[in-house]
Amino acid sequence: MQRRERTRHLIELGGLVQKAGLVDLTDDDRATILGGLLGLADMLQGVGGAALTEVFRRRGLRAFESEAVAAE
């Protein structure tokens, strides 16, 4: 059961990479995607990371809301 939940979670995270357009923007270059994510992790761990996390969170919530409205 835990394995199934973990698999679903990983698939959902991959879907977020796709929704953000990173697959197309990087021509599906996984090294570039990973490098970008590592850069993001560095930014979030640095000075002002908590505030940046909140900015990104709000932006993501707006994107989810826009998607939901468009689906109606």
Report pLDDT for 72: 85
Rounded Cα–Cα distance for residues 55 and 28 (Å): 26
Give every CB contact of residue 71 below 8 A, 6+ residues apart in sequence.
none
Sign of torsion, CA 62 12 36 22? negative
Higher local confidence (pLDDT), 43 or 72: 43
* Residue 56 CA from chain centroid, whole number: 10
Give every CB contact of residue 26 below 8 A, 6+ residues apart in sequence.
32, 33, 36
What pLDDT digit, counting tens, does each position of 15-48 carry? 999 999 999 999 999 999 999 999 999 999 999 9
Note the pTM of the prediction, 2 decimals.
Answer: 0.84
